[in-house]
Structure 1
C-alpha cells in the first residue's frame, strides 16, 4: 500500500519509506495477512499513482504542518508557547521488478518558530535498501541510512541548560539473511549504528553544553529460529548480542558495554479477530566502568479486530536504554500502551492512542514517569491531497535526588499533504 496513516505525532500522508518487500511466499507457514488493520487496508482511490521511470516508480510528496505548542522548552513553570511551521519534502523510489528489489528515499524537515528563532532547525534523511532473492523462502536484505536529526526538548536525555536543541548525526546499516525450510524459518541479522552529537550553547550564553560524551557506536548481531506449529501460529527462540563503544576518554562518562537479550515468543494470526507477536526473556548489559543491569525483557503487540472498520491494539515493552544522567550507566524502560483506529468513511479516519512509561535509573536516585495521549482525524480528499488534525498531550514526572525535568506539554497540529 502506497498510502499509510502516520502516527498521531507525525500526521501526514506517508508513502512508506522504501522497504525491501518480502519475496513471494505463497504457501508459507509464516504469512500473517488473515486480518487487515484500518491503517493497512488498501484504498486505491487515495493511493499515489507515482511517476514511472524505467523499472522504477517515483513517489514525490510534501507535507506542511502548523503546530501550536504551549510549552516549547518543556519547563515546569514559566512556560513559553509558540507556533511552529514545518515543511517536509520527500521522494521515495521503488523498483518494479518481478524478482529482487531496490528502494531509495530522501527527505527533509525545515522547522521554523514564529517567535523563538533559536529553536529553528533542519533535518534530513537519505536511505537505500534492497532485497536479493536467492530461492523461494530465502533472501538477503540490506539497508543503509544517514540522518541529521534534532533531539526534542521533551526527550529524557535532552540537557535542560541548553540554549538550543541538540543536533546529532545518525548513520546506520543492516544485513538480514532469511531462510525458510517448510515449517522452520531461520533469520540472522547484523546492524550497526553510529551516533555523533553536537555541542550546544548554554541558555545564558556564557558557555557550551558538552555533548561529545554521548558519541558512540552500537553493533547488534543475532538470530531467530521460528517453528510453525500451524499455518497461523509460530513459536520462536531469539538471541541478540550488542557491543556499545563510546568515544570519550573520560572514565566517568564512558558507558561502553557489552550485552545480550535472549527470549522465547510466538507470533499468530489465529482467527478473524486477533493477531500479534509477543516475546519474553532475559536481558543483561555489562559496563566497563559501571555495574551491570539485568532482568526480565519483554516486548509485544496484539491487535484486535472487533469489526472490519475498527482496529484496537495493545503493546508493551521492558528494555535497557542508554542514559545521559551523571553517574548512571543506563535505565530500565517499562512501557505499556493502547490504540484504536476507526474508519468512519473510506476516506475519513479517526485514531487515538495512550501510553504510560516508567524509567528506573541505575546508579542514581531517579525515576521518570510519562503519560502520553494523542488523537488524530484524517480526511483524504483524493489520491493527491490529505488533511490531518492532531492533538498530543505529554506529561513527565521525574523524582529522586537526581531528578530530571518534570513538565506538561500540549500540542495541536494541522497538516496538509500533497503526493503525486
Structure 2
C-alpha cells in the first residue's frame, strides 16, 4: 500500500502539470487570474510530533462518518468590497459583494479502491449592479478501481455552471452581464506498472454550452452561441523510476476542438486539432518535497486559413515544499493554448506562474499568501491588430479558528492588467471578511 500511496501522489502532480486554466474550477474570489485549484496531498505523517504540531492537527475538520465514507460539509459566508467591479479603467465602480459558498465532499475510507463525490457552489450578489450577480455550481465524482497493486482503472465526471469574472481573458469589458456557461466533463484512464516502468493512458471529454449575454462582434467578442463546442483529449505517458522517488517520463497527446456553429456569425471556422510532445522529471523526497517539471512542444492547427497555426514550446512546474510541518509552499508554472472568445482570435497562448504559501502561525491561526504573473498572447486572424495582456495578482489572508468547526478571517487582493491595446489596462483592490462553519 505504501507503493500505491506514493504512486497516487505522482499521478496527482502529473495531472496538475497537464491541466491549464480551467473553467471547471469555481473561483473563491470575484476577480483575479489565480491558479486553478491545486489538490495536493499533504506530506506523509512524521514519526514524532511536538505538542504544537499535534494541536494544529486537532483543528482539522474530522468529518462525519457515513458508513465507509467520511462526509465533509462546509458553509462559508463572505462580505467583500471591490473598487472596480467591471475591471475597467474608464468605468470604475465600487461595490459591496455578498458571497455564499457551500460545499460537500464524500470520501471513501477503503483500504483498496477509492470513490469520492463532491458538490460545491459559489453565489455572488453585487449591491451596485445586479447584472454582475452569479450562481456557480459544480458537482461530480472521481474514483479508482485497483486491479493489482501495479494496475488500476480511474475516471470521473463533473457538471459545472460557471462564468467569466470581469478582467479575465475571455470576459467582456464594461458594464455588461457576465458570460455564463455550462461545462460537462468526463475522463477515464488506465495505469500499469512494470517493475520500474510506468504507463498511463488517459482520455478526457469536455462539452461547453454558453448562455447569451447580449454581446457580439460589435463589442469585439463572438456571440456566446458561437463559442459552444466539444473538446477531446487523448494522451499516453511512459515513465521510468531510476531511483526510489525519482522518475523521468515522456508524454504524447492529441486534442480535437469541434464547434457547433461552423462558420460562426463572423464567417470564420474555429475547429482545430493539436498535439503535444513533452518530457518531464518527477521527484518525491521523503516527507518534505514533491515536485514535477516538464518541457516540450505544442501545436494547434486550424481549419480556417485566416487563423495561423500555433507552434510554441511548452513547460510547467507543479509541486509542494514543506520544510516545516507548519509551512507549505506550492509553486506552479504552465503554458497552454486556450480558446479565445474574441471575434478575431482563434486562441491565446496562456503562460502563467505563481506561488502559494500557507503557514500555521499558531495551531488555530493560518497565514496565506499568493502571487502570480500571467500573459495572454492572442493569436489574431490575418490582417487584424494583435493583443497582448499581462496580469499581476497579489493576495494575502489570515484564518482564525476559535474551534475546529468555525473559521473567520480577513483577506486582501490586488490585480493589475496591462495591455498593448488602448483602454484595456486596469487595476482592482478587494478586501474580504470570511466566516465559515465545517464538520
**TM-score (ref. length: structure 2):** 0.81
- Work out which of the residue numbers 272, 282, 304 in structure 2 matches 1:267: 282
Which residue does 2:245 correspond to in 1? 232
Which residue does 2:69 correspond to in 1? 56
- Distance across 2 between alignment mates of 1:304 and 1:88: 29
**Do structure 1's residue 350 and structure 2's residue 367 form an aligned pair?**
yes
Which residue does 1:332 correspond to in 2? 349
The offset of 1:239, in angstroms, is 1.2
**What RMSD, in angstroms, separates the aligned Cα atoms of the two structures?**
2.8
Query: Comparing both structures, which one devotes a greater share of its residues to helix?
Result: 2
3-state SS of 1:381 partner: strand
**Do structure 1's residue 409 and structure 2's residue 428 form an aligned pair?**
yes
- Distance across 2 between alignment mates of 1:68 and 1:287: 42
**TM-score (ref. length: structure 1):** 0.85
Q: CA 1:302–1:80 in structure 2 vs 1: closer, same or farther (change >3 Å)?
A: same
**Do structure 1's residue 377 and structure 2's residue 392 form an aligned pair?**
no
- Aligned residue pairs: how many? 388
**Counterpart contact for 1:161–1:209, Cα < 8 Å:** no
- Work out which of the residue numbers 263, 272, 285 in structure 2 matches 1:257: 272
3-state SS of 2:256 partner: strand
**Do structure 1's residue 318 and structure 2's residue 331 form an aligned pair?**
no
The offset of 1:273, in angstroms, is 6.1
- Distance across 2 between alignment mates of 1:158 and 1:190: 29
**Counterpart contact for 1:161–1:202, Cα < 8 Å:** no
**Counterpart contact for 2:169–2:376, Cα < 8 Å:** no
The offset of 1:415, in angstroms, is 0.8
**Do structure 1's residue 125 and structure 2's residue 144 form an aligned pair?**
no
Q: CA 1:373–1:274 in structure 2 vs 1: closer, same or farther (change >3 Å)?
A: same
3-state SS of 1:178 partner: strand
Structure 2 unaligned regions, length at least 5: 1-24, 30-36, 47-52
**Counterpart contact for 1:45–1:383, Cα < 8 Å:** yes
Which residue does 1:276 correspond to in 2? 291
Which residue does 1:212 correspond to in 2? 225
The offset of 1:64, in angstroms, is 0.7
**Do structure 1's residue 165 and structure 2's residue 178 form an aligned pair?**
yes
The offset of 1:49, in angstroms, is 2.5
**Do structure 1's residue 198 and structure 2's residue 223 form an aligned pair?**
no
The offset of 1:302, in angstroms, is 5.0
- Distance across 2 between alignment mates of 1:118 and 1:330: 27
**Counterpart contact for 1:314–1:339, Cα < 8 Å:** yes
**Do structure 1's residue 182 and structure 2's residue 203 form an aligned pair?**
no
- Distance across 2 between alignment mates of 1:284 and 1:178: 26
The offset of 1:376, in angstroms, is 1.6
Q: CA 1:211–1:161 in structure 2 vs 1: closer, same or farther (change >3 Å)?
A: farther
**Counterpart contact for 1:152–1:165, Cα < 8 Å:** yes
**Counterpart contact for 2:232–2:256, Cα < 8 Å:** yes
Q: CA 1:361–1:120 in structure 2 vs 1: closer, same or farther (change >3 Å)?
A: closer
3-state SS of 1:269 partner: strand
Which residue does 1:399 correspond to in 2? 420
Q: CA 1:266–1:34 in structure 2 vs 1: closer, same or farther (change >3 Å)?
A: farther
**Do structure 1's residue 298 and structure 2's residue 315 form an aligned pair?**
yes
Matches within 5 A, 1:14-29: none
**Counterpart contact for 1:199–1:209, Cα < 8 Å:** no
The offset of 1:136, in angstroms, is 0.6
Q: Which moved more, 1:289-298 or 1:121-130?
A: 121-130
Which residue does 2:301 correspond to in 1? 286
1:102-139 CA deviation, whole Å, 9 max, x = no partner? 22122222221123222222121110222111111211
- Distance across 1 between alignment mates of 2:97 and 2:173: 20
- Distance across 1 between alignment mates of 2:300 and 2:310: 5
**Counterpart contact for 1:298–1:316, Cα < 8 Å:** yes
Structure 1 unaligned regions, length at least 5: 1-6, 12-16, 22-30, 36-40
Q: CA 1:404–1:174 in structure 2 vs 1: closer, same or farther (change >3 Å)?
A: farther
The offset of 1:303, in angstroms, is 4.2
Q: CA 1:54–1:310 in structure 2 vs 1: closer, same or farther (change >3 Å)?
A: closer
Q: Which moved more, 1:79-88 or 1:95-104?
A: 95-104
The offset of 1:295, in angstroms, is 1.4
- Distance across 2 between alignment mates of 1:269 and 1:97: 24
Q: CA 1:51–1:32 in structure 2 vs 1: closer, same or farther (change >3 Å)?
A: closer
1:32-53 CA deviation, whole Å, 9 max, x = no partner? 8599xxxxx9953122232223
The offset of 1:161, in angstroms, is 5.5
Which residue does 2:28 correspond to in 1? 10
**Counterpart contact for 2:262–2:270, Cα < 8 Å:** no
Which residue does 1:28 correspond to in 2? none
